[in-house]
Structure 1
């Protein structure tokens, strides 16, 4: 049983920073920050879960069933991630490309200490609370002072050259013209070897220049995720399931006229709209596997949302599920997310594996949490830096959706646009 109590916080923005700084002493950390971004389905402004009481770590074999049993047994808050390569657990697929990170395919933990911040109100949930433990922790938290560690410039390499990228996208277009697929998300990796970074400093820089609604600092011993994701994969509130895929990107400009024009061009682009609508259809099909009859609906189609770095085209698809439906089953039947795969999904994933050169791992996977009452919320791991401090390996990947209207040169430019923020924080 958890001990639960509340506290009023008078400077919530400062407190969020202090919470994250205080969390660094623990082996397991999940810090989720909405950055006060206005969104219809937000609830908490910030969540911190630390210090595993129990945990599950596994490879792709039987991963969803193992997670389902763990979630049903604990009946508690659980935080963790699903890697993209769990596709191999649900379909006859493989992941044989280069892997410099070596993260487990799935990791979740039951935190001893949990903080949920909404506005000025802090909810605290502790397992096995000792006398005065929270008061001691709280004093430590508010004593934490912000600091920045000077980091060295990271020498970033590109796994796929521009020439190779164009050749691979051309090959993908041939698959599309033959009718093998309609759309596929093609990604490439940027990486650095024999490199040491300060994860918290890099995360803070990335979050500052991006301010996304699904920012994540994740730590599991020597494995780190520093994420500025703008995308939600899947959320469950009661019996309602929500998916919000992103497809369609355009550049932000300081000049207001140019910025508004970029936004308008995105809204009216036949290519970007067709990309988005194809994925909406795919998500509708994914949600239908667990939805009650006739409950799948498109609430928003091709809406434009603006973030610090880019404008994005986002759709919102919802469904209703039966109370007896397992939350893990809902996720399993929609995973991996359509925005990072393509249509038809299995064919797209096979072609992705053939043409990409890096095992995706946690990139284009998902980080999130389950609540004790079977709700959940998971993001899409994009605009993110992955780091294995033991292997001294830093990695980030970017991608774009390839359709029959794609021009390889422009897709390459879109990838570089998406990579800007990661380059900036690693190259200072």
Structure 2
């Protein structure tokens, strides 16, 4: 991990340590204590997954995590007597770059009085080897997210281990031929690609062991828990032989090294907490009701009003959610870097200073008194915050080193959310429609809305009975839109720059993106019949590219149309909440002859596609471990799933808190996991922080809404957020009445007014990527949205 090394310490055998304490006249009862690793920003590395591996391998150990630039070497040395062992975490980076290794290089040369066992992983092995004279080389063929069979000497770290299949994330390796201080313990045979590559080594005198592969990866088998347990066996033996004393942990050390891993998030709940709001619900059996008709009944065609629709337009999506907004619905906007958050209600705007707090904490405080109970248990949404969060909001939480630059498509807020108090939920798998309200004594509205929904269904049934068969929906515009694609040569050149970073060991995968602009003639509402050009466009997008996580979000000044295929994160309602992430890496479009068998061969049978998916799975596991602790499992790995228009390679990762975590923590945990997981790893690459910093130098504009997430945080504690891809957005403040009247007079315009839509697209660049193929893939993704605009002209 970049700029990170993990310190582990576990206590010695209890009986031995107790005896030594008694010899010194101390009557101390010792519990095995353990590892240390460095805290924020956790999204930088795989330390959390590594910490979980050690906790699993050495039950009862304590773990602390620090960055490798967080403490001076001299200060660390003075405190090592509180630790039983040190773990040096993985990369990315180079062992010859002081910024990448920090104080790690000093650890190998520590004075004998401070000496203790050390276990290195990936960059940890390279740093150990280089420090003792090994040669650092580049692999001819980079190994990122690939599984290799490990050949090992059966003793030492690999005593009783047997077969090992291990995941590798490295472009650099070490040659130990002229390194007399180290002894190789394991190798991978890459044949003609790279020959024999060192996979594990130990120092011949000092208590240092290291592996090149990643023992914490989900696809490492045989070389994870078993090797860590062997390391701990060897470390204890060395400690006893050298009569090394480990001091009992002193609470004052928490101020230096932070709390034990993994510390649950703190929730500052007022005492006593306010009573929850009660959800009022009407349940209707309405066969075949169309979500578009419901939206139009609720006034979606009025372009000047706000509107939110989270739309399950295709399988496996199920519930579609419509917010019944009023002019008084609270709306929250915030821009990264601001010291205030804006809260708008009706015509009134108020601004609240964040002070020493963050927008994340402010929103948690906003939601706490609005918690609710009594809704239909099977419904995922009872009411709450709905909207989008930008890519840059996630980048802010990484503390990445980025320079200021321009935005594309207007000054969109980085947080744009509305609090939905009344809603309609349509269950796509049944005939049920639910009208809900969080407002007290709102029975009149619920009854009126129930009647309107029934009338909407009757009208729809009558139209189907009396109207001729509908033709395929046409584009929402008549004059051809003008499309400006990214510059092809520049994009391909930047793909090659990405690959150079990958070969240098700076990253394992980089998701390079670029914006496309679409200039569209604007449809203006008439005085008698309001008609929204963005809504008409969304209906075409929905018909031509149906998706399980679609959305129409009109939260001025931003309008977002999405046909996203990918859920990012869902968090079930407490108690016993489960957090689930479903990364998609690998897509094959349906076509004649593309059967499941063909799709599986192209996706799960592809080294490149599986490696891309695996890298994101390991990154997500790390993010989730950092919040919930040990209980993270991969429920599904690289399974081909069938969707309306595509086959996709999908993995499923789940995590949950211990059962005794407490309801207050569970109610806000989904929000904390979201904060710690943004921006989505599938849109950055891995490791996340270093990848974000590299991409910032290769992309000309902030991504804004694209690559962020949209969705909801329910008042019942659950949440569901999707990745903002296959989407387009525009910046367009609602017109004042005088502007609208002028726009309606076509005689005042030689050419009709136009509006600019922006859509982003890109792809995961790996060492195996072909630049030309990556360009074509990016264009295909753009075209999936452009089709909604009809026939277009390319500038």
SS state at 1:312 partner: strand
Contact 2:424 2:433 in 1 (8 A): yes
Judging changes above 3 Å, is the alpha-carbon distance between structure 1 residues 3 and 57 closer, same or farther for their aligned structure 2 residues?
same
Please report the TM-score for the alignment, with normalisation by the length of structure 1: 0.91
1:115 pairs with one of 424, 428, 443: 424
Please state whether the residue corresponding to 1:57 is helix, strand or coil. strand
TM-superposed CA distance for 1:213, in Å, is 0.9
> Quick one: distance in 2 between partners of 1:412 and 1:104?
30
Q: How does 1:143-182 map to 2 (within 5 A)?
A: 143=456, 150-152=476-478, 153-158=480-485, 160-182=486-508
Name the SS for the 1:47 alignment partner: strand
Looking at CA atoms only, which structure, 1 or 2, has the larger radius of gyration?
Answer: 2
Q: Is the 8 A contact 2:567 2:723 kept in 1?
A: yes
Task: Report how far residue 20 of structure 1 moved.
Answer: 1.8
**Contact 1:193–1:392 under 8 Å retained in 2:** yes
Structure 1 segments of 4+ aligned residues over 6 angstroms from their partners:
144-149
Write the distance in 2 (CA, Å) between the matches of 1:407 and 1:386: 30
Match of residue 628 from structure 2:
291
- The Cα of 1:264 is off from its aligned counterpart by 2.4
The separation in 2 between residues aligned to 1:398 and 1:410, in whole angstroms, is 14
Provide closer, same or farther for how the CA distance between residues 187 and 257 of structure 1 changes in structure 2, counting only shifts above 3 A: closer
Contact 1:97 1:353 in 2 (8 A): no
Deviations 1:95-134 (A, max 9, x none): 6243223211002221132112222222222225656333
Q: 1:382 and 1:372, CA in 2 relative to 1: closer, same or farther beyond 3 A?
A: same
Counterpart of 2:607 in structure 1 is: 270
RMSD, matched Cα: 2.4
SS in 2 for 1:267: coil
* Cα distance between partner residues in 1 of 2:446 and 2:282: 11
* Corresponding residue of 1:81: 388
Measured in 2, the distance between the counterparts of 1:377 and 1:235 equals 4
TM-score, normalisation: structure 2: 0.50
Q: Which runs of 5+ in 1 are unaligned?
A: none
Contact 1:250 / 1:263 at 8 angstroms: preserved in 2? no
- Deviation, 1:27, is 2.9
Report 1 or 2 for greater relative contact order, CA contacts < 8 Å, sequence distance ≥ 6: 1
Number of the residue aligned with 1:246: 584
Structure 1 CA distance for aligned equivalents of residues 692 and 725 of structure 2: 17
**Partner residue in 1 for 2:642:** 306
Aligned-pair CA distance for 1:267: 2.1
Assess, with a 3 A threshold, how the Cα gap between structure 1 residues 309 and 389 changes in structure 2: closer, same or farther: farther
Q: Deviations over 1:138-183 (max 9, x none)?
A: 555544779988413211112x311111100000100000001000
1:21 aligns to what? 296
Q: Which residue of 2 aligns with 1:189?
A: 515
Q: Deviations over 1:211-237 (max 9, x none)?
A: 211111111134211110010111111
Asked whether the equivalents of residues 9 and 122 of structure 1 are also in contact (C-alpha less than 8 Å), the reply is yes
- Alpha-carbon distance change, 67 to 174 in structure 1, aligned in 2, over 3 angstroms: same
Q: Secondary structure at the match of 1:17?
A: helix
1:34 matched to 2:312? The reply is yes
Local SS of the residue matching 1:305: strand
Tell me if the contact between 1:155 and 1:427 (Cα under 8 Å) persists in the aligned partners. Answer: no
Matches of 1:3 and 1:296 in 2, distance apart? 32
Distance 1:65 1:3 in 2: 25
Residues 150 and 170 of structure 1: CA distance in aligned 2, closer, same or farther (over 3 Å): closer
State whether residues 64 and 89 of structure 1, in contact with CA within 8 Å, keep that contact through their aligned partners in structure 2: no
Alpha carbons 1:195, 1:394 under 8 Å: kept? no
Q: Are 1:45 and 2:319 matched, yes or no?
A: yes
Aligned to 1:199: 534
Mapped to 1, the partners of 2:698 and 2:790 lie a distance apart of 28
Deviation at 1:377, TM superposition (A): 0.7
Number of aligned residue pairs: give it: 420
State the 1:243 CA deviation: 0.4
Say whether residues 1:261 and 2:568 are aligned partners. Answer: no
Rounded to whole Å, the distance in 1 between the matches of 2:642 and 2:772 is: 24
User: 1:392 is matched with which residue?
Assistant: 755
Deviation at 1:184, TM superposition (A): 1.1
> Alpha-carbon deviation of 1:204?
1.3
